[in-house]
Amino acid sequence: AEPPAPTHVPSLPVGAADGGEGGPREVPPLQLVDVRDGELLDLLDGLLRNLPEVVSHYLHDFAFPVTMAKQTTKLSANGQDLGGSMLAPLRIGFSGTPNDLLPLELGRCHYAKGDDGRVLHVLTSERVAAVEPVA
């Protein structure tokens, strides 16, 4: 059977598929791509590298299996679990946020005098934040 004819890629930016003096570069169907054709691979890389489906496929099928240990049992916990008595009878911690959203077993947050004022000072400092009208 005759292989399908190469198709021109219409979504290329101007000059991206420029085949030089021979005109625009045609992209064959993926099953016919010659992996030894560096010029074509560069073109395909430019076309495919930012597509979410391609990134997801690469991460899930290549990167993650090699770099992440596979476990049959997954452990998960939330802040209430980790701060509670489930893991250890004694806990000492810092919430990182000046509020009382802590596990009940940790009790109330003990703020240092002036904490709220320092947070507000930083958040309103022109060295840290700027106002830009959007409309």
In total, how many domains does the chain have? 2
My answer on whether 71 and 24 are in the same domain is yes
Q: What is the mean pLDDT of each run of 10 residues along the chain (135 residues)?
A: 50 44 70 90 89 92 82 70 72 64 74 86 89 83
In a domain, 135, yes or no: no
Asked whether residue 66 falls in the same domain as residue 2, the answer is yes
Kindly state the helix (H) or strand (E) to which residue 117 belongs, with its residue range.
Answer: helix 115-124
* This prediction's pTM: 0.35
Cα 89-95-92 angle, rounded to 5 deg: 30
Q: Rounded to an integer, what is the distance from CA 91 to the centroid of its chain?
A: 33
Q: What is the reported pLDDT for 38?
A: 92
Any idea what DSSP says for residue 12?
A: P
Residue numbers of the domain that contains 117: 79-124
Q: Within a domain: residue 52?
A: yes
Q: Are residues 11 and 27 in the same domain?
A: yes
